[in-house]
Structures are given as structure tokens and as C-alpha cells.
Amino acid sequence: MPQLLKVRNLQTQFFARDSIVKAVDGVSFDLNEGETLALVGESGCGKSVTAMSILRLIPNPPGKIVGGEIFFQGRDLLKISEDEVRDIRGNDIAMVFQEPMTSLNPSLTIGRQISEPMEVHKGITLKKGLLRAKDLLGKVNIAAPERRIHDYPHQFSGGMRQRAMIAMGLGCNPKLIIADEPTTALDVTVQAQLLELMKNLTREYGTALILITHNLGVVARYADRVNVMYAGRIVEKGTAHEIYDDPRHPYTIGLLKSVPQLDQDVKTRLVPVRGQPPDLSKVPEGCAFYPRCDFATERCRKESPVLETVSGNHEKACWIDVK
Amino acid sequence: MYAYILRRLLTIIPTLIIASFIVFSLIRLVPGDVIDMMVSQHDIGDAEVTRATLEKAMGLDKPIYIQFGAWLGKIALHGDFGDSLWKGTAVADEILARAPVTFELGLIALTIGLLLALPIGIYSAIRQDTIGDYIGRTVAILGMAIPAFWLGTMIMVYPASWWGWSPSIKLVPFSEDPIGNLKTFLVPGTVLGFALAGVTMRMTRAMMLEVLRQDYIRTAWAKGLKEKVVILRHALKNSLIPVVTLIGLQVPILVGGTIVIEQIFVLPGMGLLMLEAVNQRDYPIIAGVMLFIGLVVLFVNLMVDMSYGWLDPKVRHK
Ligand SMILES: Nc1ncnc2c1ncn2[C@@H]1O[C@H](COP(=O)(O)OP(=O)(O)OP(=O)(O)O)[C@@H](O)[C@H]1O
Ligand SMILES: [Mg+2]
């Protein structure tokens, strides 16, 4: 599979009056065409900011991408002009956002909103766009799509809105869809249906997917590869298999213990990772996970670990050899 | 929707009646009534006999509530607003002759106000904290702080004494000379519009900033839309609801403003008619104009309510 996305040492920061929030602090990863990558981590660890940085959607001020490279099909997205990124947004890379209730415009019809990216990028008319919107709504399993395209978001349920968002993302046949916690606000059965739907559709169209979530349990079935993020950095990455069966970072191990897993004995107790995620405006030197880590040593407090190969493409950023 | 409009119209009626009654009584309490005026002007001597005859002839001898009842009854039954006490002409004719001037002034002021407020307010919001934003906000504060009567007077006085130029006050009918007609309204309309623009500009800016923070605006950017489309199609409509409400609330202020501005720029509208009537204690004209203005204001509020349906699909589907 040819490479689609190559992120190198991405650094995105938010500048407040007297502090700098290092939301993304040297993130690197790769993604091949058609592949599904899960980006996992607790709330506030910089997942959304990573995603928004890829499309250069960081609000400035207060935010700014201060360093790194983002190669998409060989082009560095951080070096091209605003017009050129705009051609990529919604066209080659589409985003599905985390709040289905508020991410659709309340005063435009669903059909119009689905048709819009196609009008802009494919130069089709609104009339054609609405026809396509109808097909797309059918594809995401919304009943009576010919009627539904004329509805406004408030006439849709949360799950239906998220389906509409997915339809909107698929319109231009993007190479990559970034789904930022596409299902968090929805109930569990709907979550599973939607993830299944996304998986099938991305497979059908050969679209690569970055699936952002804070639930390691959910992504087991849907992702090829997993990046675990902590405090703005990737602390472990590998295939879904490696991460689930052979986690090497204490944080990954903690996360796995904190979520129910598919093959797990129902009686196993869930243990949340103890402590609080760090304040990204004052991450201590040394390992950011140090204060919460059960294995921490003196070295962890002083020196920040870098990603090291465990085996093949499995990497972890930890001084300790935990098994 | 029609049921709603009907309900609104029905609730308007008692409001109008009460407001009319207040005006109707208050104006008769102003010291120096119409009889005093007539007597002193025609120099007929202040004999009690003439007073009584005049009062009786004009129906002013009866208690206020009887007069009011008669006035209201005639309007309700015959659409007759009564006659001017001085000229004997029908009040309705007087109002209809003057109303177009006031409407044109109000409409031009509102248009100029919005043409100033919306673009500057939007610009201020999307370029928040730039020099342009500061200039925009300063203009808004000036608009709110400078009274229209002061600005109007300055424009009448200073250019005339410095350059011998003053705004045209000769009113030609629109049908004969549209350009000349608009020229006459341009300066007073701008003065009044500027006063309205201040608040509207601030509101537009604030609402726009609020809307630009919303998730669906982020979605719009992520689709690859141009800034123009994001602002005009996705943000503007959603930020207009409070702005429209504000415009509705400004209509009474606008009416008050036209009265002052008409006097400064000598425009023969309802404002001047009203002022003349007050000076002469021409009760039927005062009451008629007030009722007419009340109707217009309530009508505008109804329109504002109805525009919510267009702006907000949630309202439309209720
Ligand atoms: N617009 C912003 N202004 C200031 N700080 C921001 C902004 N957006 C994000 N941040 C900061 O960046 C950090 C990372 O936020 P991000 O939204 O990426 O977290 P996340 O991993 O997506 O969390 P969640 O699971 O809650 O969505 C947070 O500490 C947050 O405070
Ligand atoms: Mg997020």
C-alpha cells in the first residue's frame, strides 16, 4: 500500500497571556492508503488538535503550528498556500466532528450541507448535489432520503446527524477521513452501528481513516494500527494486535485495564488510570506520565523517554521494560 | 401561522386602545387648552360665553371618557378619525398627506443604518482586535453617543457658515424628480441612520463573534469553503436573529427621531404635523397621529416576529 500521510515532529501550541499550552509536542506517524489508524488517549491529550493541525484548522490566535511537517501524498501541507489547503479540505481529506448535535448548521438543510463540498470541489450544481446527497444519505442507512434531504438538523436525531456528517464526508470521495470521536455523544448500540458503517464504507471506497477516540476497547475491531497519545506525544504505537496483546507502555496498560474488552471475563474489575492528566501548559521535565506511573524510577523523573522500537513497527516511549 | 398572526392582532387592539386613551387624556391636561389658543389668536376677548360656545361646538364640554368613546366609536364604525379643530380638514387626510415623507425618511434612515451597521459589524467580528476592528468599534460608540438632533443641527449650521453650503431642504415629489427627492432625504436619513447604526453594529459584531465560535462554523471551514461563503452563508443568518429583534425595538426610537429630524431639516412629515398640532392643541390630530404611529410600530413588530420563521427553521416548524 502506498503511503498517504506522513506526519513528522508536529508541534502545535496555544498561546495564552502568560503560558504556552503544548497541545501537540513532537508527534510523528504514518498512514497508508486505505488503512485505519486509531488515535487514542485521555481527554485533553491533543488528539483533536493533531487532527485539526493536519487540515490547518487551528484557530489563530490563540493557536499556531510551530513546527514539523505533514506530508499528504508527498506534499507538505504546512508549506502550501491557503488556497491549496482549501482545495484539500473536504475534498481529499474530510473531517467528521465529535459533536453531532452542534456540528451541523441549524439554518441550512441537511441536503444543502451534504451537497456543499461537492459543489465547491467538484463544480456540480446544487441540483445535482442534492441528488448525490440523497444517494449518500441512503448509503449511511437513513430511511426516505429523498424526503430527508430537505430536513433541517433539528429534525434529525443525534445518531442521524452523525450519519449525515459521515455522508457529508464521503461526498467528494476523499482519500482520508478524520473522524474525531464520531460516536462519543451517542448511546452504545448506535456507536457500534456507526463504527461498523464507517468501517464498511471506508473499505468499500478504499478510504483511509483516522479514528480518534478515548476508548481503546472500541477500536480493537476497527483499526489496523493504533497510536496511543499522552500529554501531546505519542507514547506507544503499533498494530492493533500488538497494542492489545502486547502493550509495553504503562499508560497503554492502564488504559486497557480501564475499559471493558471484547474477550474479557465479565467479572474482571475495571481500574481507571490513577491521577489526573497533566496540565499541558506546565508539563514537567522527564516523562510526562511519571507522576501517575506504577513503575516510575529516578531516571523517569529526569529524562524524557523517546520512542524506541520494541519489534518491527511496534514502538514505545518508556525507560522501563514492562511486560 | 395565520392563527398566530390573528392572535397577535387581537392582543394588539387593547394595547392600542389603552395607549390612545392615555394620550387622549394627557394632551388635554397640558396647560393652555385649544380654547385659550383660539381666543388669544382671534382676539375675541375672553368672555365666558364665547368659551362655552366654542367648547360646545367642538364637543370639548363633555367628560373625557365620553369624548374618547365617541372618538373611538367613529374610528371603529366609520374609519373616521375626526377633523382638525383649526383647519376643519379630516385628520385622516392630514396624516395620509404627511405619512409618505416620514416613511421615506424612516426607511432611508433604516437602510443607511443597516448598510453601515451590518458590514462594519461583520468586519469587526471577523477581524477581531485588528486596527479595522478598533475603528469600527469607535464608529459604533460615536453613533450611540452623538444625539441625532445635535449632529443634524451641526450639519445645518457649520457647512453653511464655512462654505456657504447647506443640505437641500426643498422637497420635490419622488414621482417628479426621484434623484432630487432622494438628495433631500440623504442628509437627514444619514444623520438618523447613523444614530441607529451604533447599537446595531455592536450587536452584529457580538452575535457574529458568538456564531463564529460554533462547531458548525468549524465544519464549514473543514469543507474547504472560502471565507466569504463561511461568513455569508454559514454565519450571517444565524447571527441575524437578535439583530432583527433589535431593529424591531428601534422602530419607536426611529419614530421619535424622525420627529426631531423633520423639524431640523424642515421636512413636512408626520413629525412636523405632530409638533404643529401640539403647539395648537389640535387634539384630534395628536390622537390620530399617535394611533397611526402605534399601529405602524406594532405592525413592524409583527413583521419582525414573522421573520424569525425565515431565519430560524426551528420556529418555522412549530
Ligand atoms: N482553541 C484553544 N485554545 C486554547 N487551548 C486549546 C484550544 N484547543 C485546544 N486547546 C488545548 O489543547 C489541549 C489538547 O486539546 P484537544 O482538544 O486536542 O484534546 P483531545 O485529546 O481532543 O480531548 P477530548 O477527548 O476531550 O476531545 C488541551 O489542553 C486544550 O486545553
Ligand atoms: Mg477532542
Q: A235-253 pLDDT, tens per residue?
A: 999 998 888 888 888 888 8
CATH number at residue B222: 1.10.3720.10
Q: How far is the CA of A98 from the centre of ligand 2 (A)?
A: 7
- Say which ligand is closest to the CA of A50: 1
Q: For residue B271, is pLDDT > 80?
A: yes
Q: B117-149 pLDDT, tens per residue?
A: 999 999 999 888 889 899 989 988 888 888 888
**Which residues of chain B have a CB within 8 Å of the CB of A102?**
214-216
Would residue B78 count as lying in a domain? no
- The predicted pLDDT at position A57 comes to 92
Is the CB of residue A46 below 6 angstroms from any atom belonging to ligand 1?
Answer: yes
* Partner-chain contact B222 A107, CB within 8 Å: no
- The predicted pLDDT at position B1 comes to 66
**Which residues of chain B have a CB within 8 Å of the CB of A106?**
216, 238, 312-314
Query: Quick one: how far is CA A29 from the chain centroid?
Result: 13
Q: How many CB atoms lie within 10 A of CB B303?
A: 13
ipTM for this prediction: 0.89
Query: Quick one: how far is CA B110 from the chain centroid?
Result: 9
Would residue B42 count as lying in a domain? no
Peptide bond into A62 cis (omega under 30): yes
In this structure, which residue's CA is closest to atom 8 in ligand 1?
A: A49
Structural domain count, chain B: 1
- The predicted pLDDT at position A229 comes to 93
Q: For residue B34, is pLDDT > 60?
A: yes
* Selection from B106, B97, B264 nearest residue B173 by Cα: B97
Peptide bond into A61 cis (omega under 30): yes
In this structure, which residue's CA is closest to atom 18 in ligand 1?
A: A46
Report the distance separating Cα A234 and Cα A243, nearest Å.
13
Would residue B11 count as lying in a domain? no
Q: What angle do the packed helices B91-126 and B270-280 form, to 10 degrees?
A: 130
Report the distance separating Cα A83 and Cα A313, nearest Å.
36
Name B28's Cβ contacts closer than 8 Å, sequence gap at least 6: B64, B283
Q: A255-296 pLDDT, tens per residue?
A: 888 776 655 565 666 777 777 777 878 777 888 888 888 877
Interface size, chain A vs chain B, as Cβ–Cβ contacts under 8 Å? 70
For residue B231, what are the domain limits? 94-268
Would residue B210 count as lying in a domain? yes
Q: Residue B28 corresponds to which cell in the numbers above? A: 388635554
Would residue B126 count as lying in a domain? yes
Would residue B180 count as lying in a domain? yes
Is the CB of residue A43 below 6 angstroms from any atom belonging to ligand 1?
Answer: yes
Q: What is the mean pLDDT of residues A152-179?
A: 90
More confident: B168 or A70: A70
Q: A26-70 pLDDT, tens per residue?
A: 999 999 998 999 999 888 899 999 999 999 999 887 889 998 999
Would residue B262 count as lying in a domain? yes
